[in-house]
Amino acid sequence: MGLLQISVSVITALLIGTLTRGALRTYLLLASSVLAVYWFQPALPLRSFDFWLPSLSLALSILTWLVVFPSGEWRLRKNLIGLVIILGFATLIVLSRDLFPDPILTATIPPQFSQYLVFLLLAGLALCTFGWLARQRTWAIGGVIFLLIILLVVLKTPAFSLQTSIFVRTLANRPVENAEFTDLRWLGFSYIAFRLIHVLRDRQMGRLPELTLPEFVTYVVFFPALAAGPIDRAERFTRDLQNDFSLTQEETLLGGQRIVLGLFKKFVIADTLALVALNDALATQVRTTGWMWVIVYAYAFQIYFDFSGYTDIAIGIARLVGIKLPENFASPYIKPNLTQFWNSWHMSLTQWFRSYFFNPFNRWMRGLKTLPAWFMIFVGQVATMLLIGLWHGITLNFILWGLWHGIGLFAQNRWSEFIRTRYPNVGQNSRLRPVLTIGGILLTFHFVVLGWVFFALRESSLSWQVFQKLFNLL
Amino acid sequence: MRTYSLIFLLVLTSLLLPACASNTENAPVQAVENYLNALIEKDANRLTTLSCGEWEGDAMLELDSFQAVTTRLEGLACEQTGTDGDTALVLCNGSIVATYNGEDQQLDLSVRTYQVVQEGGEWLVCGTR
């Protein structure tokens, strides 16, 4: 999100928060979010994909809603209005190509109306057939989760993304030699997919309340949290949405403070640090150990201020419309151990993995009753961190980053266990405690900083070179 | 009832608006103007979507030649001068001003005619002559 998009989002949120209440607020939030799905999507070299990918985000949301929520006349009117809003705005965007010389809401010219009609027809047929056949059936919920995971794997694996781009280019009679794996940058899909999987899994476990189509789609593509999260929970989000809310002076002030803080973090601190932060080019250019540490530290702070800045902006804007999005960061760089770091870094993502992978996986391992405790801890932590790494991209460096943290968490767990059994009173020593805390913070911070060397660079060979320079091994 | 009226209105608007659209005659000219705007904004993705398959590589080369300079369009005015089979010919007046180190260089646009073709229903820049 750029400054223009943030400004428009703030004004929209202020208007909605001030002027509307109840169902009208939900409809306007849905309309704004649908428009944002298209507007925030950057241009892609594949023609009209900046329209098709957002349309697929909406279609997948509708599909999930059809599969998850029961049939019948339940709130039919609200659902129909929701459908009209979604289709209405998508249609208006397509029609705008004939009314304006430049695209107004998409980055490039939207597709022709005839192509859009074919898409609507196919999507409508698929949604109706699948929704009718599959409603509330376990296989359908599993099928949609599988589809979302396949899409994530294709988008996150450079080789698969490249093959998909080549396939699309071949169909469109475009030169395949210009295909790149970055051709399919689907804005917000990682977050959208995780929100949808959360809803599908919660439905499987029977712990999801009924949501209308407008409420559900607003939750999935809520415009402040579309590009960079956080990943809220559907039942919590909807509770806020259904609450009677009118924007007070206090709420405006609190929301405004978060937005200003976020803007400062992102556009002043993070963007300045980005000039000297570790990247592929600097990693090869910097030769001295001292400067290498400087650019690695700069990256550590840049990624924190960038990401937490966006989170502050999202939380602040959401607050103006009465939605209290969950926090994503809680001073992660001053935590005395790695477990606490991961409880305070990208918290909504780690909570998602804890709920839908770590806990069920651990329960399954405990059920086997043959595995030693230390082994279960090791496998559980390494597998979870590996998946968190893969969520960022299916490349060797993200795998190494995941392993780095998984093994780190395991080592810290064993060390804590060792200290607890051998020296049970060490934490109560008032002289030793501050030393241990400060030492823990420094050690944890540097462990995380070194992990960013994998995260920031594309090639593991380059990361290895950086490590050599950091420790003067060249 | 109001919901059904709304759906009816939406469908009717959807069918009528494209029929009312009047700028399809200028589509080749618009395609060239969009292409030149994407070029001076150095927007590779937009430029790709505005070029035909054959011209895509050349469009990228053209864009690369402007990477080191700041660019702007001055006095852009394009018109269709004719056709050559299925190819529309578009001539533009005005210039691309490339600035490097405070020094302006004017690149006259009228020295070449843009060839614009229809691919998949879209008018796309497909070379110059």
Tens of pLDDT, residue by residue over B44-89, are 999 999 999 899 999 999 999 999 899 999 999 999 999 988 899 9
* Contact residues, chain B, for A102 at CB < 8 Å: 34, 37
Q: How confident is the model at residue B11 (pLDDT cuts 50, 70, 90)?
A: low
pLDDT of residue A72: 56
Number of helices followed by number of strands (H, E) in chain A: 21, 0
Structure-token pair, residue B22: 């009047």
pLDDT at A152: 96
In eight-state DSSP terms, residue A371 is S
**DSSP states of A16-56:** HHHH--HHHHHHHHHHHHHHHHHHHSPP-SSTTHHHHHHHH
Quote the CA–CA distance of A277 and A306 in Å, as a whole number. 12
The count of other CB atoms within 10 Å of the CB of residue A72 is 7
Residue B4: is its pLDDT beyond 70?
no
pLDDT at B117 over 90: yes
Question: Residue A160: beta bridge partners?
Answer: none
Residue B17 has a pLDDT of 53
Evaluate whether A388 touches A406 at the Cβ level (below 8 Å).
Answer: no
Q: Which residues from B are below 8 Å from A when comparing CB atoms?
A: 3, 6-7, 10, 13-14, 17-18, 20-21, 23-24, 30, 33-34, 37, 43-46, 48-50, 53-54, 56-57, 60, 119-122
What is the reported pLDDT for A68?
Answer: 86
- The angle, 0 to 180 degrees and rounded to 10, between the axes of the packed helices A289-320 and A249-263 is 160
The Cα–Cα gap between A254 and A320 comes to 9
User: Of B3, B17, B49, which has the smallest distance from its Cβ to A95's Cβ?
Assistant: B17
Q: Do B43 and A43 touch (CB under 8 A)?
A: yes
- Gap from A188 CA to chain B (nearest CA, Å): 19
Does the distance separating the beta carbons of A175 and B17 come in below 8 Å?
no
The nearest alpha carbon in chain B to A44 belongs to: B45
Cβ contact A96:A109 at 8 Å: no
Distance from CA of A210 to the nearest CA of B (A): 22
The partner residue sitting opposite A81, judged by closest CB among B3, B13, B43, is B3
Q: What is the dihedral of CA B70, B76, B82, B83, to 10 degrees?
A: 30
> What pLDDT shows up at residue B24?
55
| Residue B88, strand partner residues | B83, B116
Whether residue B113 has pLDDT greater than 80:
yes
Q: How far apart are CA A413 and CA A419, in angstroms?
A: 10
Closest C-alpha to A102, from B51, B38, B114, B34: B34
Contacts for A300 with CB less than 8 Å, ≥ 6 apart: A333, A445, A448, A449, A452
What is the structure's pLDDT at A317? 97
Yes or no, beta carbons of B14 and A113 under 8 Å apart: yes
Q: For A247-290, how does the pLDDT look when each residue is reduced to its tens digit (9 = 90+)? A: 999 999 999 999 999 999 999 999 999 999 999 999 999 999 99
Q: Which long-range contacts (CB under 8 A, 24 or more apart) does A13-18 make?
A: A13/A224, A13/A255, A13/A317, A13/A318, A13/A320, A13/A321, A14/A247, A14/A252, A14/A320, A16/A320, A16/A321, A17/A245, A17/A246, A17/A247, A17/A251, A17/A252, A17/A320, A17/A321, A17/A322, A18/A246, A18/A247
Q: Is the pLDDT of residue B22 over 60?
A: no
pLDDT less than 50: residues of chain A: none
Judging contacts by C-beta atoms under 8 Å, the chain B residues touching residue A87 are 10
User: Which residue among A44, A81, A99 sits closest to B45, beta carbon to beta carbon?
Assistant: A44
Residue B43 CB: number of other CB atoms within 10 A? 18
- Rounded to an integer, what is the distance from CA A22 to the centroid of its chain? 28
Q: Is the peptide bond before B18 cis (omega within 30 degrees of 0)?
A: no
- Say if the Cβ atoms of A47 and B122 lie within 8 Å: yes
B120/A98 Cβ within 8 A: no
Q: How far apart are CA A298 and CA A304, in angstroms?
A: 10
- Paired tokens of A233: 């929970």
pTM (two decimals)? 0.90
CB of A270 within 8 A of CB of A306?
yes
pLDDT of residue B97: 93
A383 touches A404 (CB < 8 A): no
